[in-house]
Structure formats: C-alpha cells, structure tokens
C-alpha cells in the first residue's frame, strides 16, 4: 500500500527476525509503514527476513534488548524473547533479563519518544489454570520456582512494568496475551508441538506424544494472530488490555497428531513419553474481550493452517544446510555462533 509521508509510521519491532516478528514486519510493510527490526538472532534467523533486504522501508539492527536502545520511532512492538521451552530454558537467567530488562529498556524508549508500545505477553501468565477457558481477569496459577518460571514470571513482571509505566508516566500501552500460534517460519527444532509433529511426520518418524495425549491446546494461525496484534495497536488509547489473542477451538494433542498424520501421509505412527514438569493440562482463551473491543476473531481453520505450515516445512527440510538450530551459549550473551550465511 502506498502511503503519504505523514500517514507513514516508523515502527520498531523487537524480535523481528523470529517467527511472529517476521510476519508482523511483512504486514506492517504491506500497510505502507517503515520498519526497524531489532533482534540479537538468538532464536530468530536472517532467513526469516532475507526477502526484505533491499526494501527501502525496511532496516535490520542486531541488538540485544537487555541493553538500552536509542532510535527514533512512532510505535514499538516488543516481541523479543525466546518463546519455546527448549530455547527459554537454555539460559533461564538471560530469559528473565530479556523479559524484564528488555521491557524496561523498551518502555524507557517509548517514554522518551512519547510513543505507543505493545507487549507480546503470553497465555503462560495463567500458568496451570484452574478456570477454563481463561479470561483476562483470571490472575493465574504460576509456579514461581519451576523450570518454566523464567519465562512465565518474566512475562508477568513485564506486564507489571507496562502497567506501572502507564499509571506513573501516562504511557500509551497495549498488552496482548498470545496463545499457542503456529505457521510458516516456526523454528523446526524448537520443540513446540505443531512444528515437532510436522517435522517428525515429514521424516516418517514416530510422532512423540507427552503424557497420554488427552491434554488440550488451542492453535491460532499466524495470520490471524498478526491481525489481532495490529488491531490492538491501532485501537483507541483507552483500551490497553491485557487482551487474549488466540483461537478458542480446542483439540487434544492426540487429535492434532492424527490430523498431521492424515495431512502428511506419514508412516511413522505415534510414540508416548512422560509429561514434562509443569506442563499445563488445558489452555483455551476466552476471546470475548477481543471480539467486543477489537472486532477480532480468528478465521483460519486448523486443517487449512496446517496445510500451509506443512508446505513450509516440506520446502525447508529439502534444504537442510540452510536451517540449523541456533547455537546457544549458557551464561553468555546468546548471540548465535552460526554465521549469517548458514542460517
Ligand atoms: N509463538 C507463540 O505461540 C507465542 C505464544 C505466546 C507468546 N509469544 C510471544 O511472542 C513473541 C515472539 O515469539 P515467537 O514465537 O516469534 O518466538 P521466536 O523465538 O521465533 O522469536 C523471538 C525473537 O526474539 C529474539 N530475541 C530473543 N532474545 C532477544 C534479546 N535479548 N534481544 C533481542 N532479540 C531477542 C530472537 O532472536 C527471536 O528472533 C515472544 O515474546 C513470545 O513470548 C509467542
């Protein structure tokens, strides 16, 4: 979309080389805005944004959000944070720092620029919930000392910081609680259920189900999710959230595995493993607030989204040397050791 200079915004997307961030950037550029992608390439890859190189309205900056950032912008989307358990548990102290120091640094930037800022929060703030589906006024049941706490409590603290900057400094904030999202550009080795199942199925390996497979999840297709984030950012200033963005259709993990097998024609079958610690039994968003205040609801059916995601992984697996798991160093700044050209 061509935009006049005065309606074009300069938008910072932290975590822009990741799965969700790269789709968000595609959408913002398609809407005619100028985008600065800020990412330390911990779990993101240049491959997710390489199709944008040469675009005059796109810029990439390699930067860790745990350090202050001095740039000019009209809006900030704060997505930087490893999102899958394998990645966020690799260096849990750095995960908490990314959520908490990252939020402080980005909120400080928004305060200086007097600009709107959106936080990518998560359904993990509800922990192992006692109410179903989860509404935004439920405070959650989170273990503060478990292996998932670096992510869950980090994100909860980031929400606190957003609301305190709003109350204390009048900052225009938006907080989205994102539920399980899937789609092209998910990392193939991040251990998330959709990518795991698809990669195993495409290799004709057994699909690994943790527990008996009766635990449920809801899966939101990435295009729907991005639409929700943009609608939230563009919503009136008095609507700040937190708001659930996710798909309320619930499936058991076994049902998901069976769908993936049917759509890929895998011959690998299923294998059962014990449930990991603190794995929630059930997670489903109540999206009444998003429907009422944003006019938003997901449109993509699971089969349709899975077909697109399977197509992506089929082509990615056909070029194995181009897509590797990020090289992560415990205790050190989690900058990838894999050269750009190989990622
Ligand atoms: N995908 C989901 O289902 C989901 C669900 C709930 C919340 N979220 C949230 O959405 C955001 C994006 O998730 P995603 O699925 O795209 O994950 P992702 O791992 O693909 O993307 C995260 C990005 O942040 C970058 N990053 C990590 N630490 C950083 C740091 N210190 N400084 C700068 N960049 C850093 C990574 O390199 C990566 O590009 C995260 O904040 C995540 O918590 C995602």
* Tens-place pLDDT, residues 254-311: 999 999 999 999 999 999 999 876 666 777 999 999 999 999 999 999 999 999 999 9
The CB of 195 under 6 Å from ligand 1? The reply is no
pLDDT lower than 50: segments of the chain: 323-343
Q: Which atom of ligand 1 is nearest to the CA of 65?
A: 32
Separation of CA 178 and ligand 1 centre (Å)? 11
What pLDDT score was predicted for residue 7? 85
User: For the purposes of burial, counting CB atoms within 10 Å of the CB of 144, is it exposed (0-12), middle (13-18) or buried (19 or more)?
Assistant: exposed
Give the Cα-Cα-Cα angle 77, 152, 105 (nearest 5 degrees). 40
The CB of 66 under 6 Å from ligand 1? The reply is yes
The CB of 88 under 6 Å from ligand 1? The reply is no
Please choose from 79, 104, 125, 183 the residue to mutate so as to test ligand 1's pocket, defined by most ligand atoms within 8 A of CB.
79
What pLDDT score was predicted for residue 320? 59
What pLDDT score was predicted for residue 278? 63
Q: How many CB atoms lie within 10 A of CB 237?
A: 9
Q: Alpha carbon of 187 to those of 13, 56, 132, 230, 276: distances in Å?
A: 19, 27, 29, 23, 20
The CB of 122 under 6 Å from ligand 1? The reply is yes
Confidence (pTM): 0.92
Structure tokens at 29: 């550029």
E strands within 213-312? 216-218, 220-221, 243-245, 250-252, 270-273
What pLDDT score was predicted for residue 23? 98
Query: According to DSSP H, which parts of 203-238 are helical?
Result: 222-233
Distance CA 7, CA 1 (A): 12
What pLDDT score was predicted for residue 328? 41
What contacts 86, CB < 8 A, 6 or more positions away?
Answer: 189, 190, 191
For atom 19 of ligand 1, the residue with the nearest CA is: 82
Catalytic residue status for 210: no
Please choose from 15, 92, 152, 218 the residue to mutate so as to test ligand 1's pocket, defined by most ligand atoms within 8 A of CB.
15
The CB of 178 under 6 Å from ligand 1? The reply is yes
Cis peptide before 242 (omega within 30 of 0): yes
The CB of 181 under 6 Å from ligand 1? The reply is yes
Contact between 115 and 76 (Cβ < 8 Å) = yes
Distance CA 162, CA 184 (A): 30
Separation of CA 81 and ligand 1 centre (Å)? 4
The residue from 77, 88, 126, 151 that is catalytic is 151
What pLDDT score was predicted for residue 9? 97
What pLDDT score was predicted for residue 339? 25
What pLDDT score was predicted for residue 280? 67
Q: Which long-range contacts (CB under 8 A, 24 or more apart) does 265-269 make?
A: 266/200, 266/201, 266/202, 266/204, 266/207, 267/204, 268/200, 268/201, 268/203, 268/204, 268/205, 268/206, 268/207, 269/206, 269/207
Specify which residues 77 forms β-bridges with: 13, 118
């Amino acid at each position: 979309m061509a935009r006049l200079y005065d309606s074009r915004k300069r938008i910072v997307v932290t975590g822009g080389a990741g799965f969700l961030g790269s789709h968000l950037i595609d959408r913002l550029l398609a809407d005619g805005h100028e985008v600065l992608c800020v990412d330390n390439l911990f779990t993101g890859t240049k491959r997710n944004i390489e199709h944008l190189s040469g675009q005059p309205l796109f810029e990439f900056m390699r930067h860790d959000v745990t350090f202050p950032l001095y740039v000019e912008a009209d809006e900030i989307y704060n997505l930087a944070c490893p999102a899958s358990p394998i990645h966020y548990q690799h260096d849990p102290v750095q995960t908490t720092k990314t959520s908490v120091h990252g939020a402080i640094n980005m909120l400080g930037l928004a305060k200086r620029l007097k600009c709107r800022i959106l936080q990518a929060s998560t359904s993990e703030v509800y922990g192992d919930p006692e109410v179903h589906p989860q509404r935004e006024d439920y405070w959650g049941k989170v273990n503060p000392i478990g292996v998932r706490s670096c992510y869950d409590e980090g994100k909860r603290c980031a929400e606190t910081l957003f609301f305190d900057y709003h109350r204390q400094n009048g900052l225009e904030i938006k907080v989205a609680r994102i539920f399980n999202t899937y789609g092209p550009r998910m990392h193939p080795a991040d251990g998330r259920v959709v990518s795991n199942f698809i990669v195993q199925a495409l290799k004709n390996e057994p699909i690994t189900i943790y527990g008996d497979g009766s635990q449920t999840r809801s899966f939101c297709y990435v295009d729907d999710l991005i639409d929700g984030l943009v609608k939230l950012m563009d919503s009136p200033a008095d609507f700040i959230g937190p708001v659930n963005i996710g798909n309320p259709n619930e499936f058991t993990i076994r049902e998901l595995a069976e769908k993936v097998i049917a759509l890929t024609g895998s011959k690998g079958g299923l294998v059962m493993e014990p449930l990991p610690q603190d794995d929630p039994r059930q997670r489903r968003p109540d999206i009444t607030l998003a429907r009422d205040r944003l006019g938003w609801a997901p449109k993509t059916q699971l089969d349709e989204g899975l077909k697109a995601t399977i197509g992506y992984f089929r082509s990615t697996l056909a070029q194995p040397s181009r897509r590797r798991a990020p090289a992560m160093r415990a205790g050190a700044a989690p900058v990838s050791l894999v050269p750009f050209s190989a990622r």
